[in-house]
Amino acid sequence: MKRPLILIPLPAYNAATPPTYGIKQSYAQAVIRAGGEPLCVVRPDDKRLSSLLPFVGGIFLVGGHDIDSEYYGEENMGHTEHIDRERDRVELALIRLAVKRRFPLLGVCRGMQAMNVALGGSLYQDVLTEMQGAIDHDRHIDKKTGKDLPHGALAHDVVIQARTVLAKLAGKDRIAVNSLHHQGVKTLGKHLVASAFAPDGLIEAIEIPDHPFALGVEWHPEELSGKPAEKIFAAFVSAARRSSK
């Protein structure tokens, strides 16, 4: 069976020496295990973006640094950092193309946030600061010891909404997830529904009803084992395979 190509726009690390493009291996490995073939691309202009889509089956937007708050009409309050407007431009354009052309789309962490911004939503620039009653979602470091936490460390449960794509994939109404973000969805974008919530009420998953596959999750399923995480990638790659025919 043919492995569908999954387009992954590469993040840039311009502060590195030398400047570098790259993603975590776990992103690519999750796609490969699900039966897809990652196709990593760098910063195409709009014309190249359109010319690439006929050759791929789906778009995978990975995690990373903050989206420029100007894209959702807010002044940077000092919490939005490491801005890469060129990455923002490419990913927001890809999302809008995917929605318009009904193209399979998966967003993880920043990728989910980009989906929301592309469709007119806004973000908390820092959840812990701006959202009343928020729990700590930025679990990169153990606050007591100062040591790095494993990216697969479980942080909290999410409650999944009935009759959503995510509910069908998870097969249950609650799953435990990791948490590696400090921003999150504040107002929901057009065409989107919230399909999971954290204990503090923060939106943890979004999707577009009646789309072949358009799902964003705030956690990192590529770092987790077990059926819920595996089924997210399996369903995405399966939709990409159908799109490739």
106-165 pLDDT per residue, tens: 999 999 999 999 999 999 999 999 999 999 999 887 777 777 888 999 999 999 999 999
Q: What's the structural domain count of the chain?
A: 1
Report helix, strand or coil for 206. strand
pLDDT band of residue 51 (cuts 50, 70, 90) is confident
Question: Which of 204, 207, 218, 222 does the annotation list as catalytic?
Answer: 222
| Cα 131 from Cα 202, distance rounded (Å) | 8
Q: What pairs with residue 60 in β-bridges?
A: 106
- The CATH number given to whatever domain includes residue 218 is 3.40.50.880
Percent above pLDDT 70 for the chain: 100
* Domain span holding position 33: 5-244
Question: Which of 91, 137, 220, 223 does the annotation list as catalytic?
Answer: 220
Convert the pLDDT of each residue in 167-199 to its tens digit.
999 999 999 999 999 999 999 999 999 999 999
220 catalytic? Reply is yes
Whether 201 has a pLDDT exceeding 90, the answer reads yes
222 catalytic? Reply is yes
Torsion angle defined by CA atoms of residues 118, 182, 108 and 11, in that order, rounded to the nearest 10 degrees: 80
pLDDT band of residue 244 (cuts 50, 70, 90) is confident
| Cα 155 from Cα 127, distance rounded (Å) | 15
156 catalytic? Reply is no
Question: Which of 91, 109, 156, 207 does the annotation list as catalytic?
Answer: 109
pLDDT band of residue 28 (cuts 50, 70, 90) is very high
